[in-house]
A and B are shown apart, each in its own frame.
Chain A
Amino acid sequence: MDKFKPSWRELPIAAIITEPGNIAESKTGEWRTGLKPVIDQEKCKQCYICWAHCPDASIVLKDDGVVEIDYYHCKGCGLCSRICPYKAIEMVEEVVEYG
């Protein structure tokens, strides 16, 4: 069975999701349209304003406090780049490969 294209018989009744939280599996990173945020760790002061503002929870704080981007989910909206007081996040072009 194709996980994303099940037949009508393979679908659970009314497509009820019995294991909550599975939206995390959805690769929303594919929605980026050519720009991705890149953090300059030299400039980053670890103020976490980007982390507080990211609408997709795609700013990840590592155990040592370092900030990283979760590209699997980041939709490339650029909010973190605009809001960073230290201009530590730059939107850079990326080549998107489809299919």
Chain B
Amino acid sequence: MAKRIAIEGSHAASLAVKLANVDVIAAYPITPQTHIVERLAEYVANGELDAEYINVESEHSAMSACIGASAVGARVFTATAGQGLALMHEMLYIAAGNRLPIVMAVANRSLSPNLNIWGDHTDMMGSRDCGWIQLFVENAQEVFDLTFTAFKIAEDEEVLLPVTVNLDGFHLSHVIEAIEPLEAEEAAKFLPPRKIPSHALHPRKPTTWGAIGLPEIQTELKYQLEDALRRSKDVAKKVWKEYGDLTGRYYDVIEFYRMDGAEVAIVMMGSFCGNARDAVDLLREKGVKAGLLKVRMFRPFPYREIVDALSEVKAVAVVERAFSPGSVAGPLTSDLKTAFYGEKQRPSISGFAAGIGGREVTMSEIADSALKALKVAEEGKMDGGFEYIQVRW
């Protein structure tokens, strides 16, 4: 078992990628992601990682290079954030549709305007329908573990899909935490080299990718992707179980904190779940039966697991670092409401937008949101709407 080390969140991703022994990295630097690929460039330059590091002129090209390399059968990694992810948008669909198991870290950052390098989830939410598996992590240990295991999930023959590992810009990418990595030997044993598919690109065996999809075939193609994405959830659970047996750290698509007998559940994703745990403790001290449900896997959305976990609670407070302009609610809140619509027994659901553009979300703001959601439920209403709790009036 590896020695416990102090490491920056970004570098925890780099270390996981090194231990995954990737073949190709193509990336373009962008704050707050840059440290991830900077460290990887050092590994390659120092000879610690035998990989091809491709310098490109944009994120669109970064993803394009990743697509080509992955189509050949290479194990591929890239990282981006905010505007960079937006510039990749077109190519994200190409990667997913062609079933290329690329792993990408997204150090979540707000989208312009105005120019803001700090964190929120609006970048990933803008591309949430791109067909990738999308994971959100809370701390540096999760950055390491989920980046490393992402390769095994992505490359599983049942899946063959790209994965994004979302870590909050600055709040997670730029903090130093203690983690327990893996020894190179156990990493290599857990994650053998990628099995090259028979249809992989090869100069001596030409294949055609992304040929015209006539109306007679496009529906079936899109459904094929949908089916693979849905099935990837069980593969992720299987891989994480195997990883838990190796490390003692077990992961699942959702995670609970003090949900036993909870009347109100806070639902969140990402690093601010740490504050939410403190908010739960505070509420419990005051006699409010509160709990936290952390959504680790956002796509495929684990609605069955979430419905089963929350059907007994009175109220749900979704606190999300994103919103969907002009929509009914933020993306996570909307998904939760959709999941519960057909259920006979369901909680009252209230949504809250907070933490936009790097603004802190305090323990008391999260606790207040839970109390508001509980009040809505106690008034007999099933829907508390969607509130921008940090907007100054």
Contact = CB atoms under 8 A, between A and B. Distances in A.
Contact of B207 (A5, A6, A16): A16
A5 B216 contact: yes
A interface bracket (residues with beta carbon within 8 Å of B): 10 to 19
B183 interface: no
A15 B211 contact: yes
B217 A15 contact: yes
Interface in B174-227: 197-199, 206-211, 213, 216-217, 219-221, 223-224, 227
B94 to A, nearest CB: 10
B221 A8 contact: yes
A13 B207 contact: no
Contacts of A6: 217, 220
Determine which residue in B98, B220, B227 has the highest number of CB atoms from chain A within 10 A of its CB, and name it: B220
B207 A14 contact: no
A65 interface: no
A17 B220 contact: no
A13 B208 contact: no
Given A4-B216, A5-B216, A14 B206 contact: no
Interface in A7-62: 7-8, 11-18, 20
B384 interface: no
Interface residues of B, number: 22
B227 A8 contact: yes
Contact of B209 (A5, A7, A8, A16): A16
B223 A14 contact: no
Nearest to A6: B220
B90 to A, nearest CB: 16
Contacts of A17: 207-209, 211
A25 to B, nearest CB: 13
A11 B207 contact: no
Chain A facing B: main interface SS: loop
A60 to B, nearest CB: 25
Determine which residue in B98, B206, B208, B221 has the highest number of CB atoms from chain A within 10 A of its CB, and name it: B208
B220 A14 contact: no
B98 A20 contact: no
A17 B213 CA distance: 12
B223 A12 contact: no
B160 interface: yes
B99 interface: yes
A69 to B, nearest CB: 25
A18 B220 contact: no
Contact of A11 (B98, B209, B217): B217
Interface string B348-362: 000000000000000
Contacts of B217: 5-6, 11, 15
B199 A15 contact: no
Given A14-B97, A16-B209, A18-B199, 12 more contacts: A7-B220, A11-B217, A13-B99, A13-B197, A13-B199, A14-B98, A14-B99, A14-B209, A14-B210, A16-B208, A17-B207, A20-B206
7 contacts: A6-B220, A8-B220, A8-B221, A14-B210, A17-B209, A17-B211, A20-B206
Which 8 A-B pairs give the minimum distances between C-beta atoms?
A17-B208, A8-B220, A8-B223, A16-B199, A14-B98, A20-B206, A8-B224, A14-B99
Interface of B: 97-99, 160, 197-199, 206-211, 213, 216-217, 219-221, 223-224, 227
